[in-house]
Structure formats: C-alpha cells, structure tokens
Amino acid sequence: MSTPRAHANLPLFPLETVLFPGGLLPLRIFEVRYLHMVEQCRKDGTPFGIVSLMQGSEVRRPGAQSGLFHPVGTLARITHFEAPQPGLMEIDCLGTERFRINSSRQLAHGQWVADVELLNDDVATPIPSDLAHASHILGQLVQTLREQHVAENRFPILLPMQLDDCGWVANRWCEMLPLSVQLKHNLLALDSPLVRLELVSDVLAKAHPSPQRPE
C-alpha cells in the first residue's frame, strides 16, 4: 500500500529552527496546546509537522500576534518520550518526510493545523569528486565525537552514516552549520540534493579552505 501523499489537519509545531529528514530534534514542551498535541500523537502513533517561524515566537504570549511560518516543513515522529513532572514533556523527534503547506488555520486554543502535500524524498545521488571534501570533513567530525565518547542518546547524528549520498551529507551540514533560519528553510525546500550540497559546500569552503593546487 502506497503512503498517502497528503495529510489533512496535520498538527504543526512552529519553531525557530528547521528539521531535516533524517535529523534528530530534542524538545522540552510545557505549553498546554503542545502538551495535548504531543500526547495525542504519541497515543495514535502519528507524526506532527515542524515548521520554521518567519516571525513571532515559539511561546504564545497574551496579546501577541501569532507568528507566521515558512511553507515547507518536515514530519516529526516521536522516538523517545518522558514526562519528568506534571506540565513538562521531554521528547526526541526524528525528521522523516518533507511537506508543503496548502492551507493552515489556528484552532481556538492556539494550536495550528494544516492541510499539506508530502514532497518527494531525495533521490539517492552519489557525491561528485569536487564535493567530496564536504563528506570527508563530516566523517572526521563524527570520528572526533566518537573519540570523545559522546553518549549514544546524545549523539547529534543518527547512525549509520551515509557519507556517499548528497542529500544525507547536505542535510547533516544544514543542521550543524550556523546558517540563518531563512537559508536553512530555502535549502530544505530544494528538490535537488546535489544543488543543496553544492550550496552547503560553498559555506564549508569559506570555513575550511582547501590548499591551492599549482597550475
């Protein structure tokens, strides 16, 4: 059975960040509207949507204007759940599929829901030789974290690695690099994983310039 390509009334969690497919996102939740949303998704085994804010705030304040969010987001599935005290949830989420919002509305209690269309997964694309440094540096970073004995549940990258795939490498760098939310959203919205990695590689080249080759 094929996966439905549309979701009606998908609960949204607007944040000042961008979740990429294959990415991990820990969240501490204390607002009533999101406590209810997470509890319902956990019971039903259904995802919610992470969307990045264009303006506004993650926290609802009395009299504050509701924030607006970017049109492309990522489905988030709960992989770990704890409720250390009443009114507080701590969850880990895994980014799965990208989606584009067709329409959205805010419910009476402040929760946003949207009708969305799922976007195609990245096509597996081998990394060309001129972008191999992006994969190499990422591999070195992961090895350093391993040598530092970072706990498995706190490791920032979900293993196993896919260092030979443009989309996977680009997404991991998008998560780690200090890029603006607007730029991260624009990279998420790109349908070409190769173009996404090319743009990320330009940022990396400025931070990790390679030696000039003699002509």
pLDDT digits 0-9 by tens, 162-176: 999 999 999 999 999
Structure tokens at 102: 């067709």
- Please tell me the distance from the alpha carbon of residue 43 to that of residue 36, in angstroms, as a whole number: 11
The structural domains of the chain, with segments of one domain joined by +, span: 6-118, 129-207
Query: Which residues neighbour 192 within 8 Å (Cβ) at sequence distance 6 or greater?
Result: none
> Hey, what CATH class is 129-207 in?
mainly alpha
Dmax of the chain from CA atoms? 66
pLDDT tens per residue across span 128-138: 999 999 999 99
| Per-residue pLDDT tens listing for the chain (215 residues) | 445 688 899 999 999 999 999 999 999 999 999 999 999 999 999 999 999 998 755 544 444 444 589 999 999 999 999 999 999 999 999 999 999 999 999 998 889 999 999 999 999 999 999 999 999 999 998 888 888 877 766 677 887 889 999 999 999 999 999 999 999 999 999 999 999 999 999 999 887 655 443 34
pTM reported for the whole predicted model: 0.86
Domain 6-118 and domain 129-207, same fold? Reply is no
Return the CATH superfamily for domain 6-118: LON domain-like (2.30.130.40)
Cα 71 to Cα 142: distance, rounded to the nearest angstrom: 32
The neighbouring-strand residues paired with 25 are 93
